[in-house]
Amino acid sequence: MSFTFWHRGQPIGETDFEQEHTETVPLYGERRHLAGIFRPTPYGRRLLPRLCGIMSAGFELKQELIRRGLPTDDVPPDLLEHLFGTTAAGAQMLDLGRLLCQIWVRDPAGVTLKIASMAFMELSELALLSRKLGVSQTVNLEEVPSEVAEFLVSVTLLDLASHCGPMTELQ
């Protein structure tokens, strides 16, 4: 059964989360990670360029820190804020964050899930980033049949106490 993704009252796609054969709601106090192949609607496909790219943008921000001779671990919040406001990668991450805050996920029963985190990934982006990082590619994506997944989605649910009911018209 499919989980559906919504933006401004319109469906953007669905997934049958891999290994999802048990109850949807996590146990109280437990976060639950789900991942699967994302099948976008035509509207969702138009949003995907803005929804994907978090890994590439993060890589570019890290490269900016390195170019400036700064440590890449434990970056002071004021420096991160400056980078978000003055770099293309930072602007992309802010736009992505704003858009992700507008995405709703419904389980197969139609219940809107409370999300701790969510990411959309395009497989071609993963291949490009792997090449940038010098990781050898084991699959030639140009030879992969078109019916194979283009996009993945990863979601971490909040605990049972944060679960909410069916989506309202305002959401």
For residue 7, the cross-strand partners are: 10, 103
Confidence of residue 91 (pLDDT cuts 50, 70, 90): very high
13-26 residue pLDDT tens? 999 987 654 444 44
For the chain, domain boundaries: 3-53+105-162
Stronger pLDDT, 166 or 99, i.e. the higher one: 99
pLDDT for 30 equals 52
Read off the amino acid at residue 130: S
Rounded Cα distance, 48 and 140, in Å: 22
Q: Does residue 168 carry a pLDDT above 50? A: no
Q: Does residue 166 carry a pLDDT above 80? A: no
**Greatest mean pLDDT range, 54-58, 108-112, 129-133:** 108-112
Cβ atoms of 20 and 51 closer than 8 Å: no
pLDDT for 158 equals 83
Q: Where are the alpha helices (DSSP H) in 54-166?
A: 54-67, 77-86, 88-100, 123-133
**Greatest mean pLDDT range, 49-58, 106-115, 138-147:** 106-115
Q: Does residue 141 carry a pLDDT above 60? A: no
Determine if residue 19 is left, alpha or beta; phi over 0 gives left, psi from -120 to 50 gives alpha, anything else beta. Answer: left
27-76 residue pLDDT tens? 444 558 899 999 999 999 999 999 998 888 888 889 889 998 988 888 88
